[in-house]
Amino acid sequence: MTKIILADVQPIYRAGVARLLSGETDLHIVAQCSDMERTLHAITTFPGSLVLFASELHPEWPRLTLLLDTMGSRGIVIAENTEAASTFLQLGLHGVLFRGSSGKLLLECLRTVAAGNICQPIRPENAPSSTEDAVGIRVRERLTPKEMRIVALIVQGCKNREIAFRLKTTEQVIKNYLRSIYDKTGVGDRLELALFVLHHRVLAEAASELGLVMEREENARLRTLADLSANVEHLDESIPKTGT
């Protein structure tokens, strides 16, 4: 069985790959990482693995390639659709998989590299241009502000219950919104939605910006609750206690 180390900043992408590989008897994920330091630790812990990692992690290339060679592991980079694959192959990596590649291509790439070969990249046919993404722009204009907030949380890997809590509504309302979002984007489920967003820079940037806005809003809400709790405790302590 081939050991897989999966490293990517996108929780929904990691979840999708894990779900895809769960049905494969010859490929097994031994570690999932969200940053480069954890990835390097996993490479050391699980020698002889295939390391599938995102270019977004911005590794120190000499350090990474040296560690891969030392541990007898092989690296496959998850490249953004606008990046040049030749750059990564020249660094000594064993394969390039574009972010928009299908599950079938992902499995083929893993097995090709596991067999000791180089996986030549195939750019997805629907990859947006680096200069203009007409589809992304059109979808961004069609999505309402509320729908974009839901999209941003989906990309972060949030479930419907958490999204409903964050947006102060019900799970059924979120499900209704998702049906509308799926219709506007032409996807069938939340994983396809997340990948669609990640493939289109206009949407990805909008989701990222909204994610930061909602994080600041949530932090402000938590600070307000903490302040209220502290005030209540102070008030309680200031009230004279009467004996019985």
> If DSSP codes are grouped into helix, strand and coil, which group holds residue 9?
coil
pLDDT given at position 123: 63
pLDDT given at position 131: 46
Amino acid code (one letter) for 216: R
pLDDT given at position 188: 87
pLDDT given at position 116: 95
pLDDT given at position 83: 84
* Calpha distance 9→130 (Å, rounded): 21
* Calpha distance 153→200 (Å, rounded): 16
* Calpha distance 235→67 (Å, rounded): 58
Check if the beta carbon of residue 189 is closer than 8 Å to that of residue 196: no
What domains can be seen in the chain, in order of their start residue? 2-114 (3.40.50.2300), 134-234 (1.10.10.10)
Check if the beta carbon of residue 62 is closer than 8 Å to that of residue 88: no
pLDDT given at position 193: 87
Q: How many CB atoms lie within 10 A of CB 132?
A: 11
- 10-residue block means of pLDDT along the chain (244 residues)? 93 82 92 95 97 94 95 94 85 88 87 94 56 79 94 88 93 96 90 81 84 84 80 66 58
Contacts of residue 160, defined as CB under 8 A and 6 or more positions apart, other chains included, come to: 171, 174, 175, 178
pLDDT given at position 31: 97
